Structure 1
């Protein structure tokens, strides 16, 4: 992950020296950032917009494995998964705070890589890093990101607004991040059994990137605005398609029907899933970490989305008594069950 020959112990800098070192070149670009790093708190001004705030915590051994996750990718992903929550509210992310807990095994060069990845994500998505914290950690690497954004009051989209008859839409494709994780875990096991064998990821770039370097879908928020589409409900796909649809249905007091044949799955995801003896549909329903946007729109907006390559209509919202079902390719009805990845359960099992 970093060159041990170039190793600067963090004790040489101290906490404030480390913060100064990591943030000395950060210059705010967002007009809503009045004061960024350098005081007790950031000062933001969103004028007449509604403010959106979301926080995510990433723990070593639970959310990521440093044996195959590059530190720069980790910093990038930590930001992306957080920005995704802002876009899921139909908002625009504008600032983040980035906090990190470090054990003594991490030299300055490793921390620099993490921050470099985070700042690449910030630059790509026009987001200012305006604060954070650093701390010693006895439990490995800990990263906490808080994202801040804004949206017009009339355009905030919640999970609880789905209406009967709404079309259920999803951006991009699903299951790739989970299948990419299976590939990385397989190669890790092979390496641990025989360190002389190099990882074999050739031709699998797409699904590996889906796991290691996801992209939050700000472009979909912008596309919906361009097409004059205001979803009735929306959520990001972090825990699997089934879990997210059930969140919308529960909070909206509705049912749903989705169609297996409509679920967008990339050919590489499909083929690699079969190589692992996995059902590609199950990977899409329960895999998680795709960070696509799942949303519902009125049927009257169908003509606006039907020609968009990156949005797929996969079903519709029903009355609550109809339940939440998936219609299989063989036309059988299967109740949707949330089997998404559960970090607390994983920790207990480990």
Structure 2
């Protein structure tokens, strides 16, 4: 006869339902836990976070969150998974199977859960709320990740350098610094990349895509960071300031170049005449003089020049432009050097 003991009383398994109707003062969840122990069932506890699990297999799967272990590998690509079900869902990426469709935009998905989450883009629904700051989220996983902002928890640890991370994907990306893995390859030039975002940006070199447009001058850019930098040319924002003089700059490399004015540094040297330059492009232009190269050609008379500044000045012969004006007599000149000579005449007259 199958018996179990509750509060010292022998209870036949078949009479449990009857016993539940007559017991008093014993909470149902406590009773159920006692029954499971009596019937030989155990609770499996995680030794790291003390979370309980009803089955040993559930504990094994949970432990992989802490260890980062991913025993299930895709046969088509290097991607790995901690659970077999995740691998099965992933395989639909390679088969192209997408049996679930959004009723609004008709976009197809490989999983039903993905459709449910996708619909929140159309409805704006954010059913999950942070209990600390009350911020709303569209996905449950987003709340779990967000809570780590408040708790400071970093459950994902690198087994090589012991660095901690708040998200598993950050740990996966970090591990590539140790393994040297570059899983993302360009189909055009076969160049490898560590991160998918780097590959996406690289592809624009081949496609010519420039998805970021300046709202002021409509100039297009391949990368968002380039647009952010470009906007400073309109706002005149100067984030970088020289520590030796009041001058400010919109770009960090401009400040780096400016500092050479104070230090006198000229790291670029001409191999022919040993003349030094503070900037690389100044050396490149200078080398045209030695090589006899004249890459800048006038579109009117086809005359060629070694430096861009030369052709700018030359074009004034055709346009008649005289942008350099004397502040004393208002006489205009095509080149600044002519204005400098002219100003010396005024100085002599004063003497």
TM-score bracket for this pair, using the shorter chain length: under 0.3
- Tell me which protein shows more helix as a share of its residues: 2
The alignment's TM-score, normalised by the length of structure 1, stands at: 0.19
The alignment's TM-score, normalised by the length of structure 2, stands at: 0.19
